[in-house]
Amino acid sequence: MTPLITGANRGIGLQVLQDYAARGDSPIGTARRQPPAVDGARWETLDVTDPASVRALADRLEGTALDLLVCNAALYLDKGQPLDDGYPPEMWAQMFATNVTGVFLTIQALLPNLRRAPSPKIAILSSMMASDERAPGKSYIYRASKAAVLNLGRNLSSDLAPEGIAVGIYHPGWVRTDMGGASADLGVEQAAAGLIARFDALDMGNTGCFETWDGQPHPY
């Protein structure tokens, strides 16, 4: 199997890439800058916010079948921002460019590669913070962007169903990474293993799902 994982140079993305390589798959990881060496994995340069970079990746991968596209690249820059004078417009633009537009551009550009695979899948990492049933306040940009990408995934699942391309949206858990912080609940190894199990289980029977890393359905 050939999966491609965006933002795979650290955290959950890196662990998912390493796990796929360890089980004998042929994963491709993307990163904006020099990534770490991972035995059995191939690296490609990609800035999901730059349409030219996305197009260049698609050109380099022309003719390559992708069984799975994992849209993992994301930013969380607004943690702790004050409501009265925080959340600057530039931060909104930067986070939405990565967390939403970048996901769409990557999927759009790599559809020809997915169509070459016998049972193609797209996995979008959102968050339980996207759910309108979980709204305790704060982190407005991150919450809004993850809600937007959840909506994007749900709509893509409908449009791509006639082509047999399954789309799943996932909450990776609160994970001990640079983004999640040291007090988070999960180690990255546990989260990655759970997510890979979800990706393996994704098919046309559950396309459009919004699930947690451990397989629980999450309210929208």
What are the tens digits of pLDDT across the range 149-208?
999 999 999 999 999 999 999 999 877 766 666 776 778 899 999 999 999 999 999 999
pLDDT tens digits, residue range 17-54? 999 999 999 999 999 988 999 999 999 999 999 999 99
**Joined tokens for residue 79:** 């943690």
- Helices 140-160 and 89-96 pack at an angle, to 10 degrees, of 30
The rounded distance, in Å, linking the Cα atoms of 153 and 180 is: 23
Task: Tell me if 79 sits within 8 A of 66, measured CB to CB.
Answer: no
Helices (H) and strands (E) counted in the chain, each on its own, are 6, 7
What is the pTM for the complete model shown? 0.96
Please answer whether residues 5 and 13 qualify as being in contact, where contact means their C-beta atoms are separated by less than 8 angstroms. yes
pLDDT at 205: 98
